Structure 1
Amino acid sequence: MRLSLKSFRLTKAVPLAISRGTTAAVEHLLVRITHDGCTGSGETGGFDTGHRHYATDAVAAELEAFAPRLEALAPQPLQALEPLLAALSPPARCGLDLALHDWWGKRLNQPLHRLWGLDPGACVATSVTLGLGPPEAGLARLERWWAQLPATRIKLKLGSPAGVAHDLALLEAVAGALEQRRQLTGGPCELQVDANGGWDLATARSMLQPLERAGVVLLEQPLAPLLDPEADSAGFAALHGEAPLPLVADESCWDLADLLRLAPHVDGINIKLLKSGGLAEALLMARTARRLGLGVMVGCYSDAALLNGAAAQLLPLVNWPDLDSHLNLVDDPFSGLHLDADVLVPPSGAGLGINLRQEPC
């Protein structure tokens, strides 16, 4: 099995501001494994959750150092590779995991969701994201989304460093625009809020009633994630009994162990492949969350269609898809991830089902 890497740049059409800062462009990695005449591809890159940080160049160095260990091995069975992959950081493991799954699906000439027995007809609308900023900027971004797709699910970023008054003004403006949209179209228009850990407990408590009045249907990661698991769980536990809307853990939930730790204190989890280390852990998390009665969100960072196409294989298990990053790129080198109105469709091609439109640069 031969491993190769290629870095490429992704540029956002509209920069995204959240509580931790603004992102306009990122560097990602195309990870390829080739064996027996078949090549599988995966995507990975660095990311920052506030309490953990991974740089893309460090991920590349980690994979390059790991490559010689793969040369005498085959991509299948995946179970035999699990002890090796466990030693990698989550984003390094993700890139390799996706390439291995893509190879497996291509070798069997089937999309992953079919191999897992999932129903692509069970998918629901994805949310699209409004970043932090002045209310007029948020409304302009909302109109731009509506010009691009129906966008019946809106995720609003709050947790502004400028304080709660900024959050309240932005919340009021966006909630008002969504109500006008409902009256105009007669259709659904759902508002979700993601604070990206930008509030302390007192602020989060003060925001619960304004969120409820605005018709917000879920609150994602209101409190900063903590490296101490007990302290991290305690924050959600303190808020859970008071919250009149579902609480969803994102930055606090990386793997199955985190899911089980947080399950008594949240109503849902956000699975991101870069956090989970790829599809193997993500599939296990999604099935476990559903069995425990938790809602499942699948999210993204500044990812291209290859990474989001991998995540889309899980969509039949997902209540709240949040895979919109590729829709905000001006230079995505990949294709094959399609929308039916605002419902992402799991790619039907073999493996991840994503094609390279042009060699990334």
Structure 2
Amino acid sequence: MGWSLRRFPLTKAVPLAISRGTTSVVNHLEVSLSAEGVTGRGEAGGLDTGHRSYGTDAIEAELQQLLPRLDGLDPLNRLRFDALLAALSPPARCAIDLALWDWRGQRLGEPLWRLWGLDGSRRVATSVTLGLGSVEQVLARLDRWWGQLPARRIKLKLGSPDGLDHDRQLLEAVAQALNGHQQQQQLPLELQVDANGGWTLDQARRMIPDLMRLGVVLLEQPLAAASDPDRDTASFAALKPDCPLPLVADESCWTLIDLLRLAPHVDGVNLKLLKTGGLSEALLMAQLARRLDLDLMVGCYSDSCLLNGAAAQLLPLIRWPDLDSHLNLVDDPFWGLPMDGDEQWAPEGAGLGIGFREDG
């Protein structure tokens, strides 16, 4: 058995601006596990949620230190890995967790969703993201998405550093554009809002009537995530009685413990594999969320088709897919996430079902 690590760039066709900054190019890490003629792959990259931050260099150093200790372990015996992975940051753990799952699925000749007993034929439209910018820039981005795919689900980033007046201008302009496009195309369209923690409690309360009036279907992470779990939970608890919209936690929800503490105060959570530390935790969270009647979103950062293909294994359990980052890349080294129009479904190939372009 052998492990390897490589760094690769990912370049956005259109830079993405949110309340915490703008991203144009990132470097990600690929971890490969080779044994018995099978290669499993996982991906990691840096992320910053405002209250927690992990840089790619630090993640790479973690993996370089750990990977030699994994040689000789049986990839089918997951329990042997758990203690070693527990000390890693979530993104570093994610890369190894995905490589193990990918290897295992390929070794057994089945996609992961089938190993988990899920219905991989279910198709769900993904949202596509409109970052912050001027009204003209955001509407141009919307037109670009509509030139690329049907884009029936639109996620608008708000929480602008320019304040609520600018947020309202963006909201009004995008809602008007969606209304016109819907009448022209005779397609039902959906507008979601994600503030990425860019509002105070007072600002969120002041924005909710505008969101309701303009037909927004969900509000994601309106308030900044807090390092103190009790304070973080209290912020959602304070807003929930004033929010008739489905309220979704993203930056605040990383693990099963977070899901349990937030469940009484939200309507859904956004699972991102770099936060959960991979598919193992995300699958547990998805299963528990269903038992708690919480809706699920599965999201991404500046991720390639490999990470999004891994997240797509969960699509049979997801109400709101948000796996569009690979659709905005000019140099994605991976391929294989199936799509028809704006509908996605889980890859049918063994393991993660995602290919590496140099493999042919």
Pairwise TM-score range, normalised by the shorter structure: over 0.9
SS in 2 for 1:120: coil
CA–CA distance in 1 between the matches of 2:358 and 2:331? Answer: 10
Summarize deviations over 1:268-313 as a string: whole Å, max 9, x none.
Answer: 0000000000000000111111110011000000000000000000
Give the conservation status (yes or no) of the 8 Å contact 2:268–2:294: yes
Give the conservation status (yes or no) of the 8 Å contact 2:42–2:98: yes
SS in 1 for 2:121: helix
Structure 1 position 341, deviation (Å): 1.6
Work out the number of aligned pairs and report it. Answer: 359
Give the conservation status (yes or no) of the 8 Å contact 1:135–1:170: yes
Summarize deviations over 1:320-346 as a string: whole Å, max 9, x none.
Answer: 000000000000011111211211121
Give the conservation status (yes or no) of the 8 Å contact 2:10–2:28: yes
Task: Give the aligned residue type for 2:186.
Answer: G
Structure 1 position 121, deviation (Å): 2.6
Q: Which residue of 2 aligns with 1:13?
A: 13
* 73-82 vs 280-289, greater mean Cα deviation: 73-82
Summarize deviations over 1:116-164 as a string: whole Å, max 9, x none.
Answer: 1111232311000000011111111001001100000000000001100
1:1-361 alignment runs, 5 A limit: 1-358=1-358
CA–CA distance in 1 between the matches of 2:314 and 2:268? Answer: 16
Summarize deviations over 1:212-235 as a string: whole Å, max 9, x none.
Answer: 001000000000000000000000
Give the conservation status (yes or no) of the 8 Å contact 2:46–2:91: yes
Give the conservation status (yes or no) of the 8 Å contact 2:201–2:223: yes
The normalised TM-score by structure 2 is 0.98
Structure 1 runs (4+) greater than 3 angstroms displaced: none
CA–CA distance in 1 between the matches of 2:44 and 2:329? Answer: 16
SS in 2 for 1:17: strand
The normalised TM-score by structure 1 is 0.98
* 172-181 vs 33-42, greater mean Cα deviation: 33-42
CA–CA distance in 1 between the matches of 2:229 and 2:358? Answer: 43
Give the conservation status (yes or no) of the 8 Å contact 1:90–1:275: yes
Structure 1 position 106, deviation (Å): 0.6
CA–CA distance in 2 between the matches of 1:14 and 1:123? Answer: 26
Structure 1 position 36, deviation (Å): 2.5
CA–CA distance in 2 between the matches of 1:334 and 1:80? Answer: 29
RMSD of aligned alpha carbons: 0.9
Give the conservation status (yes or no) of the 8 Å contact 1:35–1:74: no
CA–CA distance in 1 between the matches of 2:38 and 2:121? Answer: 29
CA–CA distance in 2 between the matches of 1:129 and 1:46? Answer: 20
Structure 2: stretches of 5+ with no match in the other structure: none
Identity %: 67
